A and B are shown apart, each in its own frame.
Chain A
Amino acid sequence: MTGLADLTLAEARDGLRSRDFSALELAEAEIGAVEAARGLNAFITETPERALAQAKRSDARLAKGEGLALDGLPLAIKDLFCTEGTLTTAASHILDGFTPRYESTVTAKLWAAGAVMLGKTNLDEFAMGSSSTQSHYGPVENPWRQAGEDRPLVPGGSSGGSAAAVAARAGLGATGTDTGGSIRQPASFCGVVGMKPTYGRCSRFGIVAFASSLDQAGPLARTVRDCAILLGVMAGYDPRDSTSADIEVPDFEAALSGDVRGLKVGIPKEYRIDGMGEEIEKLWRHGIDWLEGAGAETVEISLPHTRYALPCYYILAPAEASANLARYDGVRYGLRVPGDSIDGMYENTRAEGFGQEVKRRVLIGTYVLSAGYYDAYYLKAQRIRTLISRDFTAAFEEADVILTPTTPSAAFAIGEKMDDPIAMYLNDVFTVPASLAGLPGISLPAGLSATGLPLGLQLIGRAFDEETVLRTAGVLEDAAAFDARPGRGGGE
């Protein structure tokens, strides 16, 4: 049975415009789906009253033929975006009870376009993780299961709640943030589409910061078109974010021409890493064939510094995080655990308020910035970052877009890799280089593993050329014709 919650965002938009159903009906269906999917723990906070109130206002506008770009479309918001009047946690104990009196720019743009908020989604604490198990509010479950098994799997992370919700049909789309792969990797694990735009494309104002030079908001949805629609609303210059780019936002949906004839698709040889499964290799081969079949030309390219990307990222991101998280000190908001001195209060608050992975990264970050270590770690990592950017600049002389797998494997079971942070960090090996270079990347589901789990392909584009990325992704999506559905969810 196909209900309203099974519609794509574009289908729902068109249905609302032609008044096939009301925004209220759609919101009610989505609220039901969110409730049905509660077992996944994808949401930290559900906001059904707000959704209904927003839907009624959308209906009023739609009835007058004054529908806005996203009018009446229910979305899930990663709980890293500050939402005025709604609890915002970053999945951390340290933000206990924190309800912002301000709205992030990205969510403000969504509401101004008529979108409806279903709730705030779960994530790895402060967006630090690739599994969405590192949450004060408990782990998120992937709605997918391995064939014949019922072991709960991770949805990827850190935007795992958003990816799981979208996969489970509990939301037509969702916001995510991507620092080293936090949109693309969970999209791949959950069989949905996730896009990280160019650094500077979306404002970071009002998004709880993890690593400021890498953090970037982006959409997760079930189709490339849906991502294009959402990104068009989320993007745009914001004078309140000094790193946001004063560049016009193109019509991303219009970029989906379906025509990639003559397009040069780069295949980086360095992405054939040890330990990459045969089926990932095969999927990549399919991607190449599909694009060539559609008239694109593939070229082998070299990104020689790829192997340094992960260590470089795990120095720079924690360094920035160690300063960004210094404000959580128990003085002004959130958790405070008393102590016998101000230092005692800091220590008690931060010891209790932060989870293990956050503490690990704050310690790493503090270490690499310390006197005597700065040059050897932080400065060297910055230089490597520059080299990685140059790799891409050179590659884009030969190619218009780059095709890679999104992750080296499919989703793993909750509890796996927990005692091995390096194995966990390897999840991001294909997504981190584009993050360091600030380039746009998209992950879309392209097939199933032998065990029946979704596998994603990634496309990376030139800075501010999301249009080519989306256009190519649209062609891959059509060719892959991915129509598998997860075993657990709220939509069925």
Chain B
Amino acid sequence: MTLIQGRTGEWECVIGLEIHAQVISKAKLFSGAPTDFGAEPNTQVSFVDAAMPGMLPVINGFCVEQAVRTGLGLGAEINLVSVFDRKNYFYPDLPQGYQISQFPRPIVGKGSITLDLEGGETRTVGITRLHLEQDAGKSLHDRDPGATYIDLNRSGVALMEIVSEPDMRSAAEAGAYIRKLRSILRYLGTCDGNMEEGSLRADVNVSVRRPGEELGTRCEIKNVNSVRFVQQAIEYEASRQIDIIEDGGEIAQETRLFDPSRGETRAMRTKEESHDYRYFPDPDLLPLELDADWVAGIKASLPELPEAKKARFMADFDLNAYDAGVLVAERETAEYFEAVAEGRDAKACANWVTGDLFAALNKAGLGITDAPVTASSLGALIDLIDDGTISRRIAKEVFETMWRTGNDAAAIVAEKGLEQISDTAAIEAEIDTIIAANPGQVAEFKGGNEKVIGWFVGQVMKATGGKANPKTVNEILRKKLAD
């Protein structure tokens, strides 16, 4: 258990997350307007999105399907009847004066997520519910000192609000939760998980308590838009709350904002100032009724999800939990790895993918789908090691050339003459020359200094341009030096 040491003793931090995930869909939740990111302001707005008089919402069936798919991916109950409600408040970027959301009867009920923690440890976090709702537009306050501009492109875009149980106990767990949820959403193709573009945003509920005691009063930190900021916000907020309590104060239930430039949270509004949203069922929409067979059809079409894939990688490829976890985190990585590992030594392939490939991708700032070395060409490189054509050390060089030029491993090896020398006669000749030229080192070896053999190996490799098979070199050297 992760505990925080305060002045007066240990504290436990309790965290729950509400994630707003933008549904991947060409059209909005209740209108046919497009949802492309980065379009010119107010170019993706229908009369419905602008709440013109007499306009009516019509549910987008694909968004419903996406929500059901997500619910199934989270192992959650799907509610065959759910209801859309109006959440009433005034704001200029909320054209209807209410957000269409779901309150007492969401489309998805209880589910869970398994977190991958450090050292291959796992932890299960409960999902309370998932519901569908409309996004609001955007207010732009920085265009003009005396006016606010409104961009309604985002108005009406479908969001899934995914609410967790207060099951997390540290910033690290909260980070692991978001990463895992994002991974599942991407596997399912229901949200792109892009936090910079706002496709995934987190409201973070934080409270502290003495271990084993009742839950403390919580504060909600709104709209945090990166995993790092979520973790910073939790750490700041936990210590702020502990300081207040240890100084004899009480936590006020309130909504706070995280300021990334200062790394701190600030009060936004207190419970007393909170809105009365006056939720009631939206009379423009009938209750949403799903057909059980239709849900079953979606369930049958779900892809293999990271949890199952990880288990399979561990069982079939004999990978450890950590490597398997890293390889399945992104669907594309897992697919790449499986293509490389097909018919090859999986452990070696995992090392190549998580080692040289990841390093090169990080350095170049590329995603795996943009890698200049494809899975099949990496596989061919690994084959050259396995059949003894090149050494592991040469292979690293070849990989770098492949990355740079996009050429095949075999072609690079042939062109540069990098084939490994396993011809004993050639190696023997080199060794004889070196032994003859270095009687001092020979004497040292004979005097019992076994370590000097490494120096001889180095000399041989240098003389052969690294192409000699190190195993062969070692064997011949030992035989000759012993003579």
Which A residues fall within an 8 A CB radius of B? 81-82, 88, 90, 95, 98, 100-102, 104, 204-209, 211-213, 239-243, 319-320, 322-323, 325-327, 329, 331-333, 342-343, 346, 366, 369-371, 374, 378
Contact = CB atoms under 8 A, between A and B. Distances in A.
Contacts of A102: 47, 52, 54
A138 to B, nearest CB: 21
Nearest to A239: B58
Contacts of B56: 204-205, 240-242
A331 B276 contact: no
Contact of B88 (A104, A239, A369): A369
Main DSSP-derived SS at the B contact region? loop
Contacts of A342: 92, 148
Contacts of B286: 242-243
Contacts of B98: 323, 326
Nearest to B51: A327
Contacts of A319: 280
Contact of B52 (A81, A211, A323, A333): A333
A133 B50 CA distance: 31
Contacts of B86: 323
A366 B52 CA distance: 21
Nearest to A365: B278
A242 B57 contact: yes
A473 B129 CA distance: 52
B58 A327 contact: no
B285 A323 contact: no
B283 interface: yes
Contacts of B280: 319, 323, 369, 374, 378
Contacts of A329: 90, 92, 97
Interface centre among B56, B98, B150 (most CB of A within 10 A): B56
Interface string B281-306: 01111100000000000000000000
Contacts of B52: 100, 102, 332-333
B34 interface: no
- Sorting the interface of chain B by its residue count into under 10, 10 to 19, 20 to 34 or 35 or more gives 20 to 34
A327 B95 CA distance: 6
3 tightest Cβ-Cβ pairs between the two chains A and B? A326-B97, A213-B283, A212-B283
Given A323-B98, A366-B278, A370-B276, A95 B53 contact: yes
B59 interface: yes
Given A211-B283, A370-B276, A98 B58 contact: no
B96 interface: yes
14 contacts: A82-B53, A100-B53, A101-B47, A205-B56, A206-B55, A211-B283, A212-B282, A212-B284, A243-B286, A329-B90, A332-B52, A342-B148, A366-B278, A369-B88
A374 B51 CA distance: 26
B446 to A, nearest CB: 92
A206 B150 contact: no
Given A323-B97, A371-B276, A205 B54 contact: yes
Interface in B38-78: 47, 50-59
A320 B58 CA distance: 18
B90 A326 contact: yes
B146 to A, nearest CB: 11
Interface in B13-52: 47, 50-52
Nearest to A366: B278
A212 B55 CA distance: 11
Nearest to A238: B56
Contacts of B97: 323, 325-327, 329
A207 B284 CA distance: 12
Contacts of A241: 56, 58
Interface centre among B55, B58, B95, B148 (most CB of A within 10 A): B55
Contacts of B58: 239-242
Nearest to A90: B53
Nearest to B274: A371
B284 A242 contact: yes
A104 B54 contact: yes
A88 B54 CA distance: 11
Interface string B85-128: 01010101001111000000000000000000000000000000
Nearest to A80: B54
A90 B54 CA distance: 11
Nearest to B90: A346
A412 B267 CA distance: 58
A370 B278 contact: yes
A369 B98 CA distance: 13
Given A207-B54, A212-B282, 9 more contacts: A95-B53, A205-B55, A206-B54, A323-B86, A323-B88, A323-B97, A325-B97, A332-B50, A374-B278
A25 B85 CA distance: 51
A213 B282 CA distance: 9
Given A82-B53, A323-B86, A366-B278, A242 B285 contact: yes
